Amino acid sequence: MTSIARIEAAARRLSGEVRRTPLLSSPFLDAIAGRRVWVKAECLQHTGSFKFRGAWSAVSALTPDQRRKGVLAYSSGNHAQGMALAASRHSAPAVILMPADAPRVKIDNTRALGAEVVLYDRAGGQDRDAIGARISAERGLTLVRPYDDAEVIAGQGTTGLEIAEQAAEAGIDTAEVLVCCGGGGLSSGIALAFEARAPGLTVRTVEPEGFDDMARSLATGTRQRNATASGSICDAIVTPTPGELTLPVLARLAGAGLVVSDAAAEHAMALAFARLRIVLEPGGAVALAAALFQPEALGGADVIVVASGGNVDMHVFAAAMQRHPV
Amino acid sequence: MTSIARIEAAARRLSGEVRRTPLLSSPFLDAIAGRRVWVKAECLQHTGSFKFRGAWSAVSALTPDQRRKGVLAYSSGNHAQGMALAASRHSAPAVILMPADAPRVKIDNTRALGAEVVLYDRAGGQDRDAIGARISAERGLTLVRPYDDAEVIAGQGTTGLEIAEQAAEAGIDTAEVLVCCGGGGLSSGIALAFEARAPGLTVRTVEPEGFDDMARSLATGTRQRNATASGSICDAIVTPTPGELTLPVLARLAGAGLVVSDAAAEHAMALAFARLRIVLEPGGAVALAAALFQPEALGGADVIVVASGGNVDMHVFAAAMQRHPV
C-alpha cells in the first residue's frame, strides 16, 4: 500500500522534474463562492495534467531491465501523455492503448511525445484488457495502471505535499480540498499526504453527473459501477468503478463525494479562463464547479480546489465560453 | 533613477503580496522555435498581468497622507486593474482614467476591484492629461504613471529578479529575454535587474507592427513616435512613444527591438492555450510570437519569454483560436 514514506520517496524522484504548480486565487471567484477559493493549477503541470506525477513516479521506480523493455498503459488521454513523456525521458519504450473516441488532441499529443498509440473501439466492445495482455506478453512490457498502482498513487500524492506547504504559507490550517475524481488515484494520494502532513485538510471527491461511482461507493461502503462508459464531456475522469486500492483510502479519509453537472463544469471553465487565465478541460474543472456553485455543501472560510488538467480541444473550450459569458 | 537597491526594496515590499509566477515550457514549443523556450507566465499574476507589481511598488512607497488622499492613473486596462487592487488593499481611493474604447473586460474589472473609472474619448481627441490634472488638483490625488515612474519600474524589475533565479535553477546562464513592450517599464526594470544579478541575460523588446516606437527609438538613439494611437489588437502595449526614464536604460542594456504581426501574436495565443494551458491577451503574446516565429533573429540554445498579460475578451480569444487551429 502507499505510505507517506512512499509518497515522499516519489517526491524525491520527481524533484527537478515536476513543476511545483501555483495556488491561484481571484477576488471574483471568492465573491461567487462566498468564501476564499484557492486553485491548485495542475493544468500547468508537464503534459497538462497531474498524471505526469504518477507516471514519472512509476517509470522511475522500474528496474533498469523493465525500463529497457518498456511500459504499457491504458488511457483516454491524460495518463497516456504523462506516461509518454515520462517514458521518453527515461529512454523507455511506451505503448499506449487509447479508445478511438478519445479527444483527438490527446491522441495526437501522445504520439508526438514519442509513444506508440494503439486504438481500440470502446463503444463496439473491443476487449482492451485482452489487447493489452497480448501486446504486453509479446514484448515484455510492464503495465502501469492509471490509478490502481501504489507508485502511481504515491506520485499523485506529491500534489498533496505541495498543497500542504502552500496552504500553510497562505495561513490555512483547516479546509476542504475538492479533487476531480476518476478512479481515485489523485484523491487517495492527496488524502494520504494530508493524513501525515496536514491533518486539518480533508479531501472531497468531485465527479460529473451520471458518472458518480465514487460518491455512491463512499456513501454505500461498497464499490459501485457507472451505468455507462462514455457520454460525459468530462472524459478525463470517467472510469467504470473506483480502484481497489483507492476506495479503502478514501472511505477512511475523505468526506462525502460531490457531483456536478456538465453545464457547471463548463461554467467553471469559463470563469477559470476569465479570472485565473488558465485553461481547464471539463473533467479538470468539476472541483472548481463544486466550490463555486455548491457552497452550501461545503464548510469553512477557505476551500482548496485541484484543477487537475487542461487538455481540451479548442472547439470544446470555445463552446464552453460561448455558453457561459463572463 | 531606478537602481538595483530600489528594485530589491520593491521586492521586499511585494513579498507575500505578489505571485512568483512559474517559468513554463513545452517540447512542442521547443520544436517550433528550434531552441528551448521558457515562458514566464505573468498572465498568472494578480489582476492578470505584471502591472500589479509596479502598482503595488508605487502605492506601498507613498506616504500615509498620500495614501489617504488617493491615487490617479491613466490606463487602457492592465495598469488600471493593478492600481485598483493595489490601492484597495492599501485602503487608498483610486481614480482611473480609461479610454472609452478599452476592452470592456478591463473597464468592468477595474470598477469591480474598487476603483472609480472615468472614461474619455481617445479617438475624439479629449485631452486625458487635462482631465487628469483637474481631478487630481481637486482631490489631492497622487498620479502614478504606468511606466515613467521610478517605483513602478522597480516593481516591474522584480519580474527580472525572479527570472534570474529561475533561469539559474534551470541551468541557463546566457539567453535573450524577450519582453512585450509598451512604454518600456517592464523591459527596463527587467534589464536593470539582469545588469546586477544575471549579466548573461539580455532584454530584447517586442512590439506589434505599426506600433514599434521602441524598436525605432533603439535603432536611431532618439525617441520616436507612432503614427497612430490605436488600431492594433495588442491594446495593452500600444503607447505613443518610449518613456523618458525607460529609453536610456534600454538604449544602454537591451538588444535590437523585435516587431511581430497581429497574426503572429494570435498564433502565439493559440499555441499558449494548447501547449501551456495559459490565457494570453494579444499584447501579452508578442514576445512568445517572436520566439516561435523569428528564430533567425535570435541566438543561443535557450530563449526566455515574458508572457505579460492575459486580460482578453472571450470573443477575441476564440477568434484567435479559430484562425490558428493547433
Spell out the per-residue pLDDT of chain A, length 326, in tens.
Answer: 789 999 999 999 999 999 999 999 999 999 999 999 999 999 999 999 999 999 999 999 999 999 999 999 988 789 999 999 999 999 999 999 998 888 788 899 999 999 999 999 877 778 888 898 899 999 999 999 999 999 999 999 999 999 999 999 999 999 999 999 999 999 999 999 999 999 999 999 999 999 999 999 999 999 999 998 778 888 888 888 999 999 999 999 999 999 999 999 999 999 999 999 999 999 999 999 999 999 999 999 999 999 999 999 999 999 999 999 98
- Same domain? For A174 and A207 the reply is yes
Last residue of a domain, one of A111, A143, A175: A143
With CB atoms and an 8 Å threshold, state whether B278 touches A278: yes
The answer to whether residues B259 and B315 belong to one domain is yes
Beta carbons of A24 and B43 less than 8 Å apart: no
Nearest chain B residue (CA) to A104: B326
pLDDT score for A214: 97
Chain B CB contacts of A48 under 8 Å are 277
Gap between the Cα atoms of A67 and A86, Å rounded: 11
Tell me: do B271 and B166 sit in the same domain: yes
Q: Do B22 and A27 touch (CB under 8 A)?
A: no
Which of B27, B85, B314 lies closest to A325 in CB terms? B314
Q: State how many domains chain A has.
A: 2
CA distance B29 to chain A (A): 12
A184 shares a domain with A41: yes
Q: Are residues A129 and A191 in the same domain?
A: no
Measured between CB atoms, does B114 come within 8 Å of chain A?
Answer: no
Residue with cell 488511457: A75
Give the minimum alpha-carbon distance from B279 to chain A in angstroms, rounded to a whole number: 5
List of chain A residues whose C-beta atoms are within 8 Å of the C-beta of residue B273: 279, 314, 317
* CATH number of the domain within which A281 lies: 3.40.50.1100
Q: Same structural domain for residues B137 and B154?
A: no
Residue that terminates a domain, selected from A143, A158, A189? A143
**Is B317 within 8 Å of B193 (Cβ atoms)?**
no
User: What pLDDT was estimated at residue A235?
Assistant: 83
pTM: 0.96
What whole-number distance in Å separates Cα of residue A275 and Cα of residue A279?
Answer: 11
Identify which of B48, B85, B273 has the shortest CB distance to residue A279. B273
Mutate to test the interface with B, among A43, A273, A277, A308 (most CBs of B within 10 A): A277
Is the interface score ipTM higher than 0.90?
yes
Q: pLDDT per position in chain B (326 positions), as tens? A: 789 999 999 999 999 999 999 999 999 999 999 999 999 999 999 999 999 999 999 999 999 999 999 999 988 789 999 999 999 999 999 999 998 888 788 899 999 999 999 999 877 778 888 998 999 999 999 999 999 999 999 999 999 999 999 999 999 999 999 999 999 999 999 999 999 999 999 999 999 999 999 999 999 999 999 998 778 888 888 888 999 999 999 999 999 999 999 999 999 999 999 999 999 999 999 999 999 999 999 999 999 999 999 999 999 999 999 999 98
pLDDT computed for residue B87 by the predictor: 98
Are residues A197 and A121 part of one domain? no
A276 has a chain B CB within 8 A of its CB: yes
Is the Cβ pair A277, B48 closer than 8 Å?
yes
Say if residue B178 is in the same domain as residue B124.
Answer: no
Cβ pair B24:A19 closer than 8 A: yes
Q: What cell does A154 get?
A: 504515491
Q: Say whether both A33 and A66 belong to one domain.
A: no
Burial (CB count <10 Å: 0-12, 13-18, 19+), residue B172: buried
Tell me, yes or no, if B225 comes closer than 8 A to chain A by beta carbon: no
The neighbour count for residue B4, using CB atoms within 10 Å, is: 17
Residues A79 and A157 in one domain: no
A216 and A98 co-located in one domain: no
Instruction: Say what the pLDDT of residue A187 is.
Output: 98
For the stretch A252-287, what's the b/e string if a residue is b when 16 or more beta carbons lie within 10 angstroms of its beta carbon?
ebbbebbbbebebbbbbbbbbbbbbbbbbbbbbbbb
Domain that holds residue B116: 52-143
The domain boundary, picked from A143, A161, A177, lies at A143
CB-based contact (8 Å) between A270 and chain B? yes
C-alpha cell at B100: 472609452
A273 at interface of B, judged by CB pairs closer than 8 A:
yes
Chains A and B form CB pairs within 8 A to the count of 74
Co-location of A135 and A170 in the same domain: no
